[in-house]
Structure 1
Amino acid sequence: MGIYKAEAIVLRSIVYGEADRILTLFTREAGKVSAIAKGVRKTTSRLRGAVQLFSHTRLVLYSGRSLDTVSQGEAEDEFSYLERDLECFATASYCAELVSRLTPEREPQPKVFFLMLSVLRALKQGDTELTARVFELKLLDILGYRPSLTECVEGNHSLSSAAGEVQRVWFSIEKGGVVCPDCAKSCEGLLSFSPATLGAMGYFLRSPLEQAVKARLSPRIMRELASLLQGFLAYHGDVQPRSRALLDTFRDGGAGNGHNKV
Structure 2
Amino acid sequence: MIDKDIGFVIKRINFRETSILASIYTMKFGKIQGLFKGFYTNKKEFSSSLDIFTLNEFVLYPRKSEIWLVSYAELIDGYDFLRRDIDKNSMAAMFARVVDKYTVLFYANPRVFYLLKYSLESLKSYSPERLIYIFMIKFLTICGFKPEFNLCIECHRPYADKMYFSVSSGGIICDKCRVLKKDAHSISPEASSAIEYIQRTGFPQVLRINLSKVCREEINFILRGFCKYHLHIDPFLNMSGKEYQA
The number of residue pairs the alignment matches comes to 245
Give the drift of 1:28. Answer: 1.2
Over 3 Å counting, the alpha-carbon distance change for 1:213 and 1:146 in structure 2 is same
Deviations 1:70-118 (A, max 9, x none): 2112222221111111111111111111111111111111111111111
Stretches of 4+ moved more than 4 A in 1?
none
Residue 12 of structure 1 is matched in structure 2 by: 11
Shift of 1:33: 0.5
In the alignment, which residue of structure 2 is the partner of 1:257? none
Amino acid of the structure 1 residue aligned with 2:233: Q
Is it true that 1:28 corresponds to 2:33 in the alignment? no
State the alpha-carbon separation in 2 of the partners of residues 241 and 26 from structure 1. 22
Give the corresponding residue for 2:37.
38
Kept in 2, the 8 Å contact 1:19–1:38? The answer is yes
Any stretches of 5+ residues in structure 2 without a counterpart?
A: none
Q: Equivalent residue for 1:125?
A: 125
Paired with 1:96 and 1:182, the residues of 2 have a C-alpha distance of 40
CA contact (8 A) 1:90 1:243 kept: no
Match of 1:239 in 2: 232
Q: CA deviation at 1:136?
A: 0.7
Give 1:182-193 correspondences, 5 Å limit. 182-193=176-187
Structure 1: how far apart are the matches of 2:6 and 2:178? 47
Change (3 A) 1:28 1:99: same
- Check conservation: 1:94, 1:241, Cα contact below 8 A: no
- Deviation larger for 190-199 or 27-36: 190-199
CA distance in 1, matches of 2:40, 2:188: 51
Seen in structure 2, the aligned counterparts of structure 1 residues 94 and 229 have a Cα distance that, compared at 3 Å, is same
Deviation at 1:240, TM superposition (A): 1.7
Query: Contact 1:170 / 1:191 at 8 angstroms: preserved in 2?
Result: yes
Hey, what does 2:192 align to over in structure 1? 198
Q: List aligned pairs for 1:152-167, cutoff 5 A.
A: 152-161=152-161
**Which piece of structure 1 moves more, 86-95 or 210-219?**
210-219
* Bigger share in helix: 1
SS of structure 2 residue aligned to 1:75 = strand
Q: 1:239 is matched by which residue type in structure 2?
A: H
Give the percent of matched residue pairs that are identical in Structure 1 and Structure 2: 25
Which residue of the partner structure matches residue 55 of structure 1? 54
Offset, 1:43: 8.6
1-structure distance, mates of 2:179, 2:68: 54
> Which residue does the alignment assign to 1:88?
88
SS of structure 1 residue aligned to 2:217: helix
User: What amino acid is the match of 1:72?
Assistant: Y
**What's the TM-score once normalised by structure 2's chain length?**
0.89
TM-score w.r.t. length of structure 1: 0.84
Distance 1:105 1:123 in 2: 27
Give the 3-state SS of the residue equivalent to 1:15 in structure 2: strand
Equivalents in 1 of 2:167, 2:134: separation in Å?
A: 18
Structure 1 residues 221 and 48 mapped into 2: Cα distance closer, same or farther (>3 Å)? farther
Structure with the larger RCO, 1 or 2 (CA within 8 Å, 6+ apart)? 1
